[in-house]
Amino acid sequence: MQNTLRQLAFLAPLQGFEATARHLSFTLAASELCLTQSAISRQVQGLEAQLGVALFARHHRRLELTPAGERLLATVQDVFRQLSATVAAIRVDQRRPVTLSTTIGVAAMWLVPRLSRFLAEHPEVDVRISANNRLVDIEREGIDLALRYVPPEQQPATSHFLFGEDIFPVGAPSLVGELATRVPDADDFARLILLNYDDPSPDPWLDWTIWLKQLGVPDAKPKAVLHFNHYDQLIAAAVAGQGVALGRSVLITEHLASGRLQPLASPYRHASLRAYHLIEAATEPRPEVRLLADWLRAEALACRGATGA
C-alpha cells in the first residue's frame, strides 16, 4: 500500500481534473478553484503524463472525456464524496463532549474538585457534567458515562465498581469541641442543631434517628433540625458551623483533610448500604470516552486507598 501511494504523485491535480470534467472547460474549472486556466491545464497534462493516457479529447473550443477519463472521473468523484463525508464526521466528533451523568452531590463534592486534573492531562477532551438526582435513561438522553450510587440489588450487571463509603457524625471544629474526644449525651444534643439529609433513596445510616438510638440516646431532643434535599448544601452548612451532619467519607475527604470538618467521637462508623459504580453506555466507546472512564477508575482506586472505602 505504501509503495502504491508513493507512486500517486498526481493526487493534487485530481481536483483540477474533476472540476474540468464536470464543466468540460478549463476556464470554468479555473474559476471554480480560483486558479488560472493555464494552471488547470498543466495539472491535467501532468496527470495524463503520469497515467500515460489522454483523459480528454480536445476539440475546437470544447472538451470531451475519453473512456479513460470517464472511468477516472467516476472513481475520483466517489472518493471525493467519501472524503467529504469523513471530514464532516471528524469535525462533528472532534469536539463532541463526553457526557457524564451523576448525582448533584457527587458532582459537586467528588467529581468537580478533581476534574481539573483530567482536563490538564487531556485539554482536547470536552466534558459535560449532567448532574441530576433522578435516575436518567442513559441511551435516550445521550449519556456516555454514568456514575451511580446504588445498593447491591440495583447494581447494573455491566457496571464497574468504584468504591463504597462509611458514614459518621461530623461538624465544624468550633462546634465539635470536646465532643471530638467523648461521645455526646442527651444534654449535648439538646445544644446541637442536627443537619438532616432527606434522602430520596433512604439509607438508614443517613437518618439521625438511627444514630441517636445507636448512641444510646433515642429520646434526645436536639436544639433544632435543618432539612436538606441536596447533600452538598447540607455539608456546606456543616462547614459553616450551622450544625452537625452525618458525613459520607468519600464526599467529605477534602474537608476532613483540611480540618474544615472534624468527626464527633462515636463508637460507630457504619458502611453505607450503597456503593459507587461506573456505567459505560457503549460497548465500544469513543477514544475520549475511554480516556475519561479510565481516569475515573484510577481516581476511584486512589480514593479507596485514601478512605479505605
166-271 is classed CATH 3.40.190.10? yes
DSSP 3-state helix, strand, coil percentages of the chain (rounded to 5)?
50, 20, 35
∠ CA 20-24-27, nearest 5°, is 65
Q: Each residue's pLDDT tens digit in the chain (309 positions)?
A: 444 444 444 566 888 999 999 999 999 999 988 899 999 999 999 899 989 999 999 998 889 999 999 999 999 999 888 888 887 777 655 678 999 999 888 999 999 999 999 999 999 899 999 988 777 777 778 899 999 888 877 777 778 999 888 999 999 999 999 999 999 999 999 999 999 998 766 677 888 998 999 888 999 999 999 999 899 999 999 999 999 999 999 999 999 999 999 999 988 788 888 889 998 887 788 899 999 999 999 999 888 766 655
CA–CA separation, 213 and 211 (whole Å) = 5
98-163+274-307 is classed CATH 3.40.190.10? yes
Structural fold of domain 2-94 = Arc Repressor Mutant, subunit A (1.10.10)
Smallest CA-to-CA distance from 172 within 258, 240, 248 is with: 240
Domain edges within the chain: 2-94, 98-163+274-307, 166-271
Sign, CA torsion 100/102/105/110:
negative
CA–CA separation, 252 and 170 (whole Å) = 10
Residues ≥6 apart with Cβ < 8 Å to 46: 10, 13
Smallest CA-to-CA distance from 10 within 61, 63, 50, 59 is with: 50
Phi-psi region of 241 (alpha: psi -120 to 50; beta: other; left: phi over 0): left
CA–CA separation, 298 and 305 (whole Å) = 11
Let me know if the fold of 2-94 is the same as that of 98-163+274-307.
Answer: no
How is residue 193 written as a grid cell? 442543631
